């Protein structure tokens, strides 16, 4: 994104992945920004329904040009693997 919050590409943005919680969003966004990957994070929270849809659909989604899909999914897999490793370490006696 540039300083005016506009995507750096003319490609259409499509849904690339569903984010399960706000922590995933907070972790992946700086990584995508550091890699200069055009993206938008969209939450499913709706104040009228007090977040009802987030329990059904997940926290939100990553939207980006189709050409960046594979790279974003690779980064998301890494983020989730690191998170799973932290949880596994916490479970050890």
pLDDT at 64 over 60: yes
Q: How far is CA 44 from CA 4, 33, 57, 58, 65, in A?
A: 23, 21, 8, 7, 20
**What pTM value is reported for the model?**
0.74
pLDDT of residue 12: 94
Between 89 and 76, residue with greater pLDDT? 76
Do you know the residue count of the chain? 93
Task: Identify the CA nearest to 75 among candidates 40, 44, 14, 29.
Answer: 29
pLDDT at 3 over 90: no
Per-residue pLDDT tens over the stretch 35-50? 999 999 998 876 666 6
pLDDT of residue 45: 74
Residue 4 pLDDT class (50, 70, 90 cuts): very low
pLDDT at 5 over 70: no
Rounded to the nearest integer, the mean pLDDT of the chain is 82
């Amino acid at each position: 994104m540039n300083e005016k919050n506009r995507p750096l590409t003319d490609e259409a943005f499509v849904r690339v992945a569903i984010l399960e919680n706000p922590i995933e969003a907070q972790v992946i966004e700086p990584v995508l920004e550091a890699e200069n990957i055009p993206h938008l994070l969209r939450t499913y929270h709706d104040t009228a329904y007090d977040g009802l849809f987030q329990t059904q659909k997940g926290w939100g989604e990553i939207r980006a040009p189709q050409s960046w899909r594979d790279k974003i999914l690779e980064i998301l897999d890494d983020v989730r693997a690191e998170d799973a490793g932290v949880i596994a370490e916490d479970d050890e006696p």
